Structures are given as structure tokens and as C-alpha cells.
Amino acid sequence: MDLAAVLTLDVLSGIATLVLLSLGLAVIFGMMRIINLAHGEFVMLGAYATVLSANAGINIWIAMLVIAPLTVGAIGIVIERCLIRFLYGRLVDTMLATWGLSLFITGAVTTAFGNTIQGVPTPLGGFEIGDYRSSYYTLFLVVLSATLLGLVFIFLRRTRFGLVSRATMQNPGMTAALGVNPNRVYMQTFGIGAALTGLAGGVLAPVSGVGPEMGAAFVAKAFITVVGGGSAILAGTASSSSVFGFINQTGSYFTTPVFGEVIVFLSAIVLIRLLPQGISARFFKGSL
Amino acid sequence: MTDTAAPLLSTRSLTMLFGGVVAVDAVDFSLAPGELRCLIGPNGAGKSTFFKMLSGQYVPTAGEITFRSRSIAGSAPHEIARLGIGIKTQVPNVFNGLDVHENIWLAARRRNSPSTARRIARDILERIRLSHRSMVPVGHLSHGQRQWVEIGMVLAGDPELVLLDEPAAGMTDEETRLTAELIREINASRALIIVEHDIQFIRMIADKVTVFHQGGILMEDKADTVLKDQRVRDVYLGKKEYA
Amino acid sequence: MAVKTAAQLTALILAVVAIAAAPMLLDLFDLIELTLFASMAVLALSLGFIWGFGGILSFGQTAFFGLGGYAYAVAAINFGDSTPAILLAIALPAAFAALLGYFTFYGRVSDVYFSVITLTVTLILFNVVNSTAGDEYRIGDAALGGFNGMPAVPTFNMPFDPAAVLEPEASWYVAAGTLVAVYVLLRLLLASSFGRIAVAVKENEVRASLLGYDPRLIKLIVFVIGGAVAGLAGALYVNWGAFVNPTIFGLALSAQIIIWVTIGGLGTLIGPVVGCILVQYIVSRIGTQQTFNANLILGAVLIGFVLLLPRGLMPTLQHIATQAGSRLAYMFSRDNAGRAIADRPAGAE
């Protein structure tokens, strides 16, 4: 019974991690049809922002929840203005340029802070279920990911910006004719996606080693989650995070963490083959 | 070419749905060997969708397609092409980066040795009057010339049935006249189905005409009869008022 | 046409002479470095071929490179003779490419998702091989060694004569000779009917299928050839270092292959070779200086090329040369002035 509870918590935290990791990417991919291969480096930048500000004496919660998303969001907007906007409609070139960007950011961070693994202590401490230990921070991640999904939903559904950005993604020409500047919408959307990713990096910093090359570990997972989820940002992210998070944690439990990951990748390939449009196109048509 | 002969191509209850929209609605159609048939009808009548099912680009939602007494509904485009159906699509669909000769050669090469394919390509370049531009990349040609390249590619595959989707669209009067001539030449040895909007062009080439309207067949008769028919006029004039 | 063929033959002869003379002109250290460049250039050709002429963008060409490397290492340790090991290093990646290609092309997986899948596949292989530390993971006499890799892999010997291990000069001849041979074979393949059909499929898949060609099959064959070439490059690489470890499957190398081809020029065969050697040279220089980080430079270079020179070096140079040539021709023969010299399309070089 205790084991079941711990396993459930493990699965939930696996799902939450995937939601956090992929939500920003899903916003950028789902709304702008851009494959951002520097996504892992956005996560890394968020983690660095957290570690550096925590080391500078700033409260860890402010570092994770405020400084990380704001920093990466700002960097995202700069990148959109200086690079991405020249490449709209050129899907392959965007992939190449963002891959270059990913190397560039990794190189820049290595040059600035050295190729060392840093970290911050995990806040909140732990609790026990029978013989097993778990941490309150895991619970926090689960609650945070659910909250983020809710906030993004409200943002897209209930705000003017959400409406305008959904309209722009559907038909940029028409939206422009209605007096909205599509360029501005793209810039803001990219910034929001980057900020969400920075937030993910911030809150994951205490539970993972922070180094210049940490992004590589995340980018593939985030991608299969987004691609597996399909075009609906929220329903897709939530459903495919659930599927892959479940597979990852149970797979890891019964084999090793490495093979858990391998099983996730394999199932992702099978999923893309069976549902090329993603889970949401099949089961959640027309949802957000 | 009597009505009692086995048809070259026939469809039975052929239907295509896109989401909830019925693009083609239970069409029964039949074409005799060596026949030339024109399909007309306003935009959105389902002609191009009908064509794409014949060529295998769309898999029909329901119904049968029989070509040379073989069922081809849902076969892959390359399988249908190998059975002897060649199609010129509505938007010129050619290898823009390759030169004119290479385009035609590729079409001939599938059934012939490289040297025979070269000879066929030369012949066809004569017929489509583009011999002098054989080394030019197709992307550099005018719209009308690219249509001819595509018709040439269809011919190079030596199909028994030729499908032409709007062969005269965007052509000058002179080009249109030459295209009509080319079509009569093709019809000497092959069956054709032609989708066309241009009534003048239809008068030049048509024998029998099938009118599509709202996904179904409105009527089917000799060109003169069809073009005089009041219902057909209403369908077209109704559209012209909006245009 | 005849002029072009003659020029190509001349270039080929020059290349062969340069390869033959290199051991006499260079010291051993430089020669060994060039041997590595030549091996990697074969890898560059594999992606340059499938991407530039088949329209297949594989982010995981390292999967085949790595499989080739590991297949060679395992087989060479077990057989003691490099001859069957090299063949296996070609056959296994080719078979794997056939499997993966069948799964994706026949499953109508779209281009972008194909790239994501290939990336995922190479990461799977990386993870799997990385976790094979420990004595239970061995194939015959060969322990896979996990993240430490496999040291002391037997290097190439004379065919079917394990005692006659190749000296560094001979390894250079093998690597450079393989590069030239692969280049010539791919060039001939592209000039054949199959090559022209493959380019047609890349140009317009729908039209190719309406002409009766099966695009899935054509792409599959192109992909398998690319996998075989990448596998061969893997064997050359392992021969160079007598060593293999899982980074051979890694993202860093995947990115580099893409960079080679993008910089050198998509749609040519010489471009990827030039791009590879150039980048390898720059990276090795940066490595000795330690002032700049290699990732920083590579990333900036890739971004710069995508934004400013998306066609890559070789096509741009060819374009400049053609323009200069046609201007010269125009100046020297006014009587021919009316005849424009047609731009050759990228795929028909």
C-alpha cells in the first residue's frame, strides 16, 4: 500500500516534470509552428538564473518563480527579434538556426561560468510514507504544473491577447487586416513560451544538476511530448505528458532509469507512427 | 465506341467526405475506350476532388472505381499510374528545378530504357513545341508552357487514359488554340477526361459533356445540348453574378 | 558537357595525386589528423547524399555511424580480422536504416517528425550503449564497456591477413581512398536513372508518384545507401583511434554533421566534404588554443550561414564562377551574346 502511494507520487511527479518541460515548447510549436531546438538551453538558462540569484542571496522562491521566467522570457524576445523573425515560413532553416543557437548558448554559458555542475539545495524537506521517503518539493512540482496548465488555459481563452494570438496563428493575413500587428503577436508568443521554459528550468534546478550541457537531456523529452501531444497545446501537453510520464516512471521502476527513458523514446516513435497528428488530434479535436 | 462496349473507366456511388462536407456525392460515371469527355461545373462542384480520387491522390470515403475492369479505389497513385492513367493536375505540378528535357525523360523512363526514353522525350518536345527550350529549368517557363510540359509528361508515360485538370487555364488565346489541337491529337489514340471552365475552349474540343453540381452529376449529354440547357445556364450564371 | 566531364576527371586525378603524395609532404602527426578528416568526410557525404539529393533530413545520422563503429569494433575483436568486420560495419547500419526507413516512410511520417524520430533513435542508442558497463554486456569476446567504451580495438589489416596490420601511412591511403571511392560511386549513382529519379522525388513527390514511381521505395533506398556509407565511416573512425565510446551516437556529433553539410552546401557532394574538413580544422585549432569555446564558434557559424548564406559555400562559389565565366564568355564572343547561359539547378550539378 505504501509502495503504491509512493509509485503514484513518482508517476505524478514524472508527469509534472514533462508538463513543465514541454509547455513552453508546445506554446511556441503549437501557435507558431516553429521547432525550437534551443529549447533545452532555455531550460538551462532558467536553471542558471535561479542558481546565480540564489547564490547572490536572493530568496530561492523568488529566484525560481520570478527571476528565471523573466530572464529567459527577455532573452527569448531578443532572440525572436534578432533571429527567428527572419525565418518564419522556413521550417527547416528555423530548425538549423535554433540548433546553432543551442550550441551558441551552451558555448557562451561554458565560457562565462565554466563547465562545472552547480546546484541549489532543494527547499521544503521530506516526509515519510511507511518505509519510503519522499519530498514536499515533489508535491509542489505537481501542484505547480497543474496550476500552469490552468493559467495558460485562462490566458488563451479569457484574455484579449489569447484571442488575438489564436486568431493570428489561424490566419495572420486576416488578423493584420483587422488591425493587429502579427509580428508583435509572434514576438510576444515566443517570449511567453521562453518564459514558461525558463520557469521550468528554475523549478527543476533544485532537483537536477545545473551545467552548460544539461539542456541536451531535456530537449528530446520535451519534443516527443509536444509532437506526441499534437496541435492542441493544453490537451496535447497534458495527455502526452501523462502517457509518457507514466511509461517513464513505471519503466524506470521495473528496469533502470536509463531503460525507462529508452522505453519512453521507443513508445514515442511508435506513437508518432500510429498517430502522426498526435494524441489531441485523435481524441481531443478542437480543444485548446 | 458504342455504348454496349465495356467501359474503360467507371465509378459506382463514388463519395468523398471532408469532415462533414460532402465534396463528391455518390457519383456514377462511365467512360468508353477512346472517348473524350469534358467535365464542367462551377467552383466547388467536386470536379477536382473526383479527379484526385481517380488518380489515387485521395482515398474515396465510399464507392467503387473500375479501370480496365480492375478495382482501383484506394490504390496508391503510383500503382494507378502504372495501370495507365496519367494526370495533369490543376496547379502545374512539375519538377521546377529540373530542365524541360529531364522532366519528360523522367516520365518516359519508367517504362523504357534510358536511350528509348531520350528518343521519346525528343518526340514529345516536338509535339508540345518546346524543343528549343529543352535545357531550360521548368521553373523559368511561363505558366502556359509549364502546363504543356506537364501534358508532355503525361503523354511520355503512354497512358491509356489521360486526365487533364484545366489544361487551358491562364493561357493566351494562341496557346489555348494550340492546346485544343494537341488534345485532338492525343484523342486519336487515347481516352481523355478534361475538367474545364472555359466554355469557348469546350466548344473547340468537346464531344460529350458531364456537368457537375454540388458534388453530383447534374446532366450528361452532347456539348451543344448541354450548353443550351437552362439548368446548366442557371448554375453558371448564378455563379457569374457573384464573380 | 564534355568540358565539364574533362574538368571533373582532372580534379579527380589531382585528388588522387595529392593523396598519394601526402605522406611524403606531411609529418606523421598531420597525416594522422588528415586521416581523421577523411573518415569524417565520408560521414559528411552520407548526410549530403540523403539530404541534398533525397530530401531526407536525418538528425540522427550518428545512429548509423555509431552502429558501424560498434559493429566494426565487436566484430574485429571477435574475428581478429578486420575484413569481415568492415563488411559488417556496412551491412548492419544499412539493415537498421532499412528497418527504420520502412517504419517511417511507409508509415507516412511527415518530414519534420521524421527528423525528430531520427534524433530520438540516436539518443536511444546512446542511452542503451551508455548503460552497458559491466561484464554481463559482452558480445563474444568483446565487452561493450558502457560509457567507458571499448579500448584497444584491432585496427585494419590487409584483407584476410590479420597479421599484416596497416601502418599509419596505409591507413591514410585507406581513409582517403575510401572517401574518393564513395564520392565517385555516389556521383555515378546520381548520374544513373535511379539517381535522377531520386532527385525527381525530392523535387516533387506527388508528381513522381503520378508518373508511376513509388516515392516511399525510392526514399527508402536512398536512406539505406546513406546508412551504409555512414556505417563505413564509423569503421574508418574506429580504425583511426583504435577505440570507440558512446559519444559516437551523441547529439554533439549529430549537430556537427548538419553543420558540415549546411556550410559546405546542400545539393552538392563536394560541399559536405569541404564543409567537414573546414569545420574539423577550425575545431582542432580552437581545441589547441582554449580561448574560445568550440560550441560557441560552431553555433555562431551555423546561425550565420542560415541567415546570410543559406546555400552554403560551394554552390555560392559555383554561382560566382558561372557568373564570371558567362561574363568572360560574353566579352570574348559578342556574336553569341543573345544566348543566355542557363542557371543550373541545385540538384543537377
Nearest alpha-carbon partner for B149 in C206, C207, C348: C207
Domain ranges of chain A: 2-212
Range C106-113 average pLDDT: 79
Please indicate if any CB of chain C lies within 8 Å of the CB of B78. Answer: yes
Q: How far apart are CA C303 and CA A95, in angstroms?
A: 10
List, for residues A231-268, the tens digit of each pLDDT value. Answer: 777 778 888 888 888 888 888 888 777 778 888 888 88
- Closest residue in C to B163 (Cα) is C210
Q: Which of B81, B97, B114 sits opposite C211 (nearest CB)?
A: B81
pLDDT over 90 at C175, yes or no: yes
Confidence of residue B128 (pLDDT cuts 50, 70, 90): confident
CB–CB contact C193 B109 (8 Å): yes
Nearest Cα of chain A lies from the Cα of C120 at a distance, in angstroms, of 6
CB distance A46 to A72 below 8 Å: yes
Beta strands in C196-279 (DSSP E): none
Nearest alpha-carbon partner for C207 in B136, B139, B153, B121: B153
Please indicate if any CB of chain C lies within 8 Å of the CB of B93. Answer: yes
**What is the overall mean pLDDT for chain A?**
83
CB–CB contact A258 C120 (8 Å): no
Q: Which of A99, A106, A220 sits opposite C258 (nearest CB)?
A: A99
Please indicate if any CB of chain C lies within 8 Å of the CB of A269. Answer: yes
CB–CB contact C104 A273 (8 Å): yes
pLDDT over 60 at C335, yes or no: no
Nearest Cα of chain C lies from the Cα of A85 at a distance, in angstroms, of 11
- Report how many domains make up chain B: 1
CB distance A236 to A9 below 8 Å: no
Nearest alpha-carbon partner for C179 in C22, C63, C314: C22
User: What b/e sequence results for C102-139 when a residue is b if at least 16 CB atoms lie within 10 Å of its CB, and e otherwise?
Assistant: eebbebebeebbbbbbbbbbbbbbbbbbbbbeeeeeee
Q: What is the pLDDT of residue B46?
A: 87
The alpha carbon dihedral of A248, A252, A257, A259 has a sign of negative
Q: What is the pLDDT of residue B150?
A: 92
List, for residues B182-202, the tens digit of each pLDDT value. Answer: 898 889 889 999 998 888 888
Q: How far apart are CA A78 and CA C187, in angstroms?
A: 44
Q: Which segment, A163-172, B43-52, C100-109, C204-213, is predicted with the most confidence on average?
A: C204-213
Nearest alpha-carbon partner for B62 in B94, B16, B23: B16
Q: Which segment, A51-55, A146-150, C72-76, is predicted with the most confidence on average?
A: C72-76
What chains are in contact with A, requiring at least 3 Cβ pairs below 8 Å?
C
Q: Which residues of B touch C208 (CB under 8 A)?
A: 78, 106
Q: Which of A258, A262, A273 sits opposite C107 (nearest CB)?
A: A273
| Residues of chain C above pLDDT 70, percent | 93
CB–CB contact A273 C128 (8 Å): no
Q: Which of C110, C119, C298 sits opposite A276 (nearest CB)?
A: C110
CB distance A2 to A132 below 8 Å: yes
Q: How far apart are CA B1 and CA C86, in angstroms?
A: 64
CB–CB contact B77 C210 (8 Å): yes
Range A175-203 average pLDDT: 85
Nearest alpha-carbon partner for C205 in C197, C195, C215: C215
Q: What is the pLDDT of residue C43?
A: 96
Nearest Cα of chain B lies from the Cα of C260 at a distance, in angstroms, of 24
Nearest Cα of chain C lies from the Cα of A128 at a distance, in angstroms, of 31
Range A4-18 average pLDDT: 82
Q: Which residues of C touch A103 (CB under 8 A)?
A: 255, 295-296, 298-299, 302
Q: Which of B87, B96, B105 sits opposite C203 (nearest CB)?
A: B96
Q: Which residues of C touch B81 (CB under 8 A)?
A: 209-212
Give the H/E segment covering residue A133. strand A132-135
For chain A, positions 195-224, list CB contacts with chain C under 8 A.
216, 220, 223-224
Q: Which of B94, B97, B107 sits opposite C347 (nearest CB)?
A: B97
Q: Which segment, A121-125, A167-171, A251-255, B53-57, is predicted with the most confidence on average?
A: B53-57
CB–CB contact A104 C131 (8 Å): no
CB–CB contact A262 C107 (8 Å): no
Residue to substitute from A221, A247, A269, A279, interface C, most C β-carbons within 10 A: A269
What chains are in contact with B, requiring at least 3 Cβ pairs below 8 Å?
C
pLDDT over 80 at B138, yes or no: yes
Residue to substitute from B51, B75, B95, B133, interface C, most C β-carbons within 10 A: B95
User: What b/e sequence results for B84-104 when a residue is b if at least 16 CB atoms lie within 10 Å of its CB, and e otherwise?
Assistant: bbbbbbbebbbbbbbbbbbbb
Q: How far apart are CA C72 and CA C232, in angstroms?
A: 9
- Closest residue in A to C125 (Cα) is A262
List, for residues C15-65, the tens digit of each pLDDT value. Answer: 889 888 888 888 888 899 999 999 999 999 999 999 999 999 999 899 999
Classify residue B189 as exposed, middle or buried by CB count within 10 Å of its CB (0-12, 13-18, 19+): exposed
Q: What is the pLDDT of residue B142?
A: 87
For chain C, positions 254-313, list CB contacts with chain A under 8 A.
255, 258-259, 262, 292-303, 306-307, 310
CB distance C108 to C239 below 8 Å: no
Q: Which of C203, C210, C343 sits opposite B81 (nearest CB)?
A: C210
CB–CB contact A276 C258 (8 Å): no
CB–CB contact C199 B99 (8 Å): no
In terms of residue numbers, what domain contains B237? 1-82+197-243
CB–CB contact C206 B77 (8 Å): yes
Residue C86 C-alpha from the chain's centroid:
16
Top pLDDT among A174 and C155 is at C155
Q: What is the pLDDT of residue A118?
A: 80
Residue B38 DSSP label? E
Q: What is the pLDDT of residue C130?
A: 86
Please indicate if any CB of chain C lies within 8 Å of the CB of B136. Answer: yes
Q: How far apart are CA A22 and CA A28, in angstroms?
A: 10
For chain B, positions 96-115, list CB contacts with chain C under 8 A.
96-99, 102, 105-107, 109-111, 114
SS3 label, residue C164: strand
- Amino acid (one-letter) located at B98: L
Domain ranges of chain C: 2-348
Q: What is the pLDDT of residue A261?
A: 80
Q: What is the pLDDT of residue A153?
A: 84
pLDDT over 70 at B131, yes or no: yes
SS3 label, residue B229: coil
SS3 label, residue C154: coil
CATH of residue B242's domain is 3.40.50.300
- Closest residue in B to C191 (Cα) is B114
Residue reference for cell 462536407: B21
Q: What is the C-alpha radius of gyration for chain A, rounded to an integer number of angstroms?
A: 19
Q: What is the pLDDT of residue C297?
A: 86
Q: What is the pLDDT of residue B42?
A: 83
Alpha carbon of A271 to those of A129, A263, A267, A283: distances in Å? 35, 12, 6, 13
| β partners of residue A128 | A133
Q: Which residues of A touch C301 (CB under 8 A)?
A: 100
Which grid cell is B178? 494550340
CB distance C73 to C238 below 8 Å: yes
Query: Which residues, at least 6 apart from C133, have a Cβ–Cβ distance to it below 8 Å?
Result: C145, C146, C147, C148
Q: Which of A83, A97, A110 sits opposite C295 (nearest CB)?
A: A110
In degrees rounded to 5, what are phi and psi of residue C135? Answer: -75, -15
Nearest Cα of chain C lies from the Cα of B98 at a distance, in angstroms, of 6
Please indicate if any CB of chain A lies within 8 Å of the CB of C99. Answer: no
